[in-house]
Structure 1
Amino acid sequence: MRDQYLIAQVQREIASVVGPENVNTDETLLHEQSADWSWISQYLKYKSLPVPTADIYVRPGTAEEVAEVLRIACEYKIPVVPRGGGSGTQGGTFAIYGGIAMDLRRLNKVLHIDEVSMIVTAEAGIEGPELEKILNAKGLTMPHYPGSFHFGATLGGYLAARGSGVVSTKYGKAEDLVLQLEAAVPPGKLVETMKVPNHASGPGIMQAIVGSEGTLGIITKASMRIERIPESMEFLSYGFKNISEGIEAARRIMTDRWRPAVIRLYDEADSAKLSSWLNLGVEGVLLIIMCDGKKALTALESSEIAKLCEAVGGKSYGPEIGKMWWDGKYEPFKHGNIPAPPQVFGTTDTCARFEDLEKIYWAKKKVIEEGFSEYKARYTAHFSHWFPWGGMIYDRFYIDNGPEDPQEAIALHDRVWDAAIKASLDNGGSLNEHHGVGLKLGRFMRVQHGAAFDLLLGVKDAWDPDGILNPGKLGFGPPKNGRY
């Protein structure tokens, strides 16, 4: 009864800030706010099992309301779990300690388009397609098109998990596109970072908030780089005898400092899957490349890249396969193509230097397919995003017939993750490249960072002394308040 009274009291105080219509305790709505696209969330829904939910749902409409709700939460020491479109895959919106589920989707305005500096400033809750529609009307684009583009992903979500997009090889990830942030931080105040990301004015506060998944601050506004819609797009596609040749072709492209917008390298299994979805009619290891920009630039760049690919042993399929891929780039994320329970699956993406990429691929393939052979586990991969120093592996495991018992199925899921993460880290990879950490991977944070993780814990304690901002995520542990 004391808990019920406390929740009712907090709800009334929040209602005075955001309006009674924007706060409630409806059980169905609270379940929706806790859910995301993680396997565990989908599996619990499939099994009609409950997900951990908050106690109060709130939908602020301005940055000032976000800060004021956070102030109330700080006074009562109640957790706050911010949420955008719920397209995350790591259990980042699970409210395992209850508290307030903060829906940011009313913060959905474009505030300013600066065509002189090529910067757009928008509120954090705007969805990617809506922002793109507004920019496209002016011949502009924000070059960040993630697989979650049509799953409700928001600007704040892009930044909270350091997301990658289809053309990040040329334009950078969300963390590279952002120039300035506004965020609500304890004990309920708004802070704004510098107008420029490059400076010599001490450590970068903005990049501490980016990737923090709501554990250090709640992003309310961001200024992002934009580009003109490209004048020209040139497509190439190549087949290779093996994954080694494909990786070497991509390495040469990047280390020769060509800048294609897209380099996608598919192993045999992922290539077969992609070919069936898009009717490509190819098999084996497939490499897709797209160069964009001024026509003179794309003509030169595609010509030189073609020479590199052929020198490594690539067989050209011509531009049409690449164009078909571009037109169907969201096909793998459509319902019916994305994996779903009762299948046990996970996307264990990692990034590494060029010298480590291939050994990570083989190590993970072995540990999954041989280590879980009794379940007929399968491993597929493509290399999605590339850097001047290395690349990223977007890989998945699949177990078609897992245990029927929920606890056994969840335990199997976690064991495969344990093995996959260990193989990545033991061979020079990272915990993750662009899906974030959330609740699911928090247990690996100290393994990834070693003694440096204590520095992150110190930042968390200093910025959020009560531990109420999205507790339990990023390996940061529970709130300090015993009530939760």
Structure 2
Amino acid sequence: MGENRPDGVSGPGFLHGQIERELAAAIGAEHVSREPVELQQQAADWSWVSKYLQYKGLEVPAPDFAVRPGSTAEVERVVQIASDYKVPVITRGGGSGTQGGTFAPYGGISLDLGRLNAIVDLDEESLVVTAQAGLEGPVLEQTLNEKGLTLAHYPGSYHLGATLGGYVAARGSGVVSTKYGKAEDMVLQVEAVVPPGRTVKTLPVPSHASGPDLLQTFVGSEGTLGVITELSMRLDPLPEARAFLSFSFPDVFAGVEAGRRIMTSRLRPSVIRLYDTADSVKLKDWVGTPFTGNLMVVMCDGDQALVDYETAAITAVAESAGGTSLGPDVGRIWWEGKYEPYAKGKLPQPPLMYGTFDTVARFRDIPRIYRAKKEAIESQFGDVGARYTAHFSHWFPWGAMIYDRFYIDEPPADPAEAIALHDRLWDVGVEASIANGGTINEHHGVGLKLGRFMRTQYGTGFELMKGLKAAWDPDGIMNPGKLGFGPPSIGRV
């Protein structure tokens, strides 16, 4: 937002001081900060670039203000002030994203929803919970489990601060999404604040016959259209029983075919995870599964009779596709250790360079996407020792998603060269996905990192999206630079 004096009383910093005073009057001075350390914390996320900049002692693109409103009414006031001064607003949930979604390249206001963390209503008759967007998943889950219920959304970021608003804003997936759906399938209603500071609420159920679906316009919008402040989510009963299966396959493509047959037979396991040889080695190191090779783990849950039927049927299907049963223990070990890959000290960290792709496609396209990406990464970047690993972790009636990564053990020491190499790897990987029937991502969101691919993915449809953005947010202040929507219309103040 331009140069400012620390006191904000005179000179170029006066405008900053004026905005700070108005924000303090709106939500309380104790909930407004301009401390540089806090601003850096607000901007940081779990993306490689964020972690790398911190590792190098460099600054993450940060906001000018950090605010923590305590109600939807206070969010309204913050957005009104931002609209009055044409100041960017960057919504922050738990900061567990991986796409640079909390970066503030144009400065502005980081709107931290951590104080919006209440359960508003628990409708046990309809199995629906309404809660504020800043509520962390494990906190909600504890309350639900005490009543025999669950919000069956367990993402890898579950213990890294992930919030309900973040689940929906980034179209998140959890480990049991194959049966229970993604966050976009679970959300029934949202309340959101849009510029210039108005609150809208979608219908109490997803819109089926009442025109275009306003709800799903907010889903996946990553703060670029408004600030989701409250959500109603579908719940499920805690399952009576769980059973685990595991299989080895002669190659990863036989495993993909087994998964395809399971899903097109309309069986409904809660988990299918298929690891290629390289990823199964990581799994053994991180979780302790006693097998390396092309590994599939399966979990079925629900009523005991249903579980018994599905495990028998899935075993027959997997074996018909060339699978060899490894018994239940490998799957059980995986389930009990499913968050271990995200534990402190196990997540990859700089100076190692890494990037987590995620793409989704129809079954017929999955094998060639895997081949194309592995070949592109390991051949085009063989001179820097690039490695490629993958697993297939979310399955649909029509296809599956690939969760794949590149690794470079010794990236360039120069930050500019390292970040340029990182971006080239992303260019090659994403382009290989799109060229072979995939998408730019599946559940990590788009953020700043993948925005440059949106036009390639959507073609002329992206111009319609930009038109919607311009209509809802004419000044472009809502999380500018994300989803490929570009800078705020008026630039930095």
**Where does residue 358 of structure 1 map in the other structure?**
367
Matched, 1:165 2:174: yes
Matched, 1:294 2:303: yes
SS at match of 1:289: strand
Q: Is the 8 A contact 1:109 1:126 kept in 2?
A: yes
- Unmatched runs of 5 consecutive residues or more in structure 1: none
- Structure 2: which amino acid aligns with 1:79? P
1:314-363, Cα deviation, whole Å (9 max, x unpaired): 11110111111100001111122211101111001100000000100010
Q: Is the 8 A contact 2:287 2:338 kept in 1?
A: no
Q: Is the 8 A contact 1:68 1:189 kept in 2?
A: no
Task: Report the Cα offset of residue 438 of structure 1.
Answer: 0.4
Task: Report the Cα offset of residue 47 of structure 1.
Answer: 0.2
1:139-187, Cα deviation, whole Å (9 max, x unpaired): 1100000000000000000011000000000010000000000000011
Find the aligned partners of 1:232 and 1:57 in 2 and give their Cα distance: 45
SS at match of 2:406: strand
- Structure 2: which amino acid aligns with 1:273? K
Matched, 1:58 2:67: yes
Instruction: For 1:288-437, list aligned pairs within 5 A.
Output: 288-437=297-446
Q: Is the 8 A contact 1:79 1:469 kept in 2?
A: yes
**Where does residue 219 of structure 1 map in the other structure?**
228
Q: After TM superposition, what 4+ stretches of structure 1 lie above 4 angstroms from structure 2?
A: none
Matched, 1:109 2:118: yes
- Structure 2: which amino acid aligns with 1:211? G
Matched, 1:17 2:26: yes
- Structure 2: which amino acid aligns with 1:278? V
Q: Is the 8 A contact 2:277 2:292 kept in 1?
A: yes
**Where does residue 475 of structure 2 map in the other structure?**
466
Find the aligned partners of 1:230 and 1:202 in 2 and give their Cα distance: 36
Find the aligned partners of 1:3 and 1:338 in 2 and give their Cα distance: 43
Q: Is the 8 A contact 1:46 1:342 kept in 2?
A: yes
TM-score by length of 1: 0.99
- Structure 2: which amino acid aligns with 1:359? R
Task: Report the Cα offset of residue 261 of structure 1.
Answer: 0.3
Instruction: For 1:175-254, list aligned pairs within 5 A.
Output: 175-254=184-263
**Where does residue 458 of structure 2 map in the other structure?**
449
- Structure 1: which amino acid aligns with 2:392? F
Task: Report the Cα offset of residue 198 of structure 1.
Answer: 3.7
Q: Is the 8 A contact 1:343 1:399 kept in 2?
A: yes
Instruction: For 1:28-67, list aligned pairs within 5 A.
Output: 28-67=37-76
SS at match of 2:91: strand
Q: Is the 8 A contact 1:54 1:99 kept in 2?
A: yes
Task: Report the Cα offset of residue 260 of structure 1.
Answer: 0.4
User: Alignment partner for residue 272 of structure 1, among 273, 281, 285?
Assistant: 281
- Unmatched runs of 5 consecutive residues or more in structure 2: 5-10
Find the aligned partners of 1:478 and 1:380 in 2 and give their Cα distance: 35
Find the aligned partners of 1:132 and 1:218 in 2 and give their Cα distance: 23
Q: Is the 8 A contact 2:365 2:437 kept in 1?
A: yes
Q: % of aligned pairs identical?
A: 61
- Across the aligned residues of Structure 1 and Structure 2, the Cα RMSD in angstroms comes to 0.8
Task: Report the Cα offset of residue 3 of structure 1.
Answer: 4.1
Find the aligned partners of 2:289 and 2:175 in 1 and give their Cα distance: 19
Task: Report the Cα offset of residue 245 of structure 1.
Answer: 0.7
Q: Is the 8 A contact 1:249 1:308 kept in 2?
A: yes
Find the aligned partners of 1:3 and 1:457 in 2 and give their Cα distance: 33
The aligned length equals: 484
Q: Is the 8 A contact 2:38 2:66 kept in 1?
A: yes
Q: Is the 8 A contact 2:106 2:492 kept in 1?
A: no
Q: Is the 8 A contact 1:269 1:381 kept in 2?
A: yes
Instruction: For 1:91-102, list aligned pairs within 5 A.
Output: 91-102=100-111
SS at match of 1:349: strand
Q: Is the 8 A contact 1:183 1:192 kept in 2?
A: yes
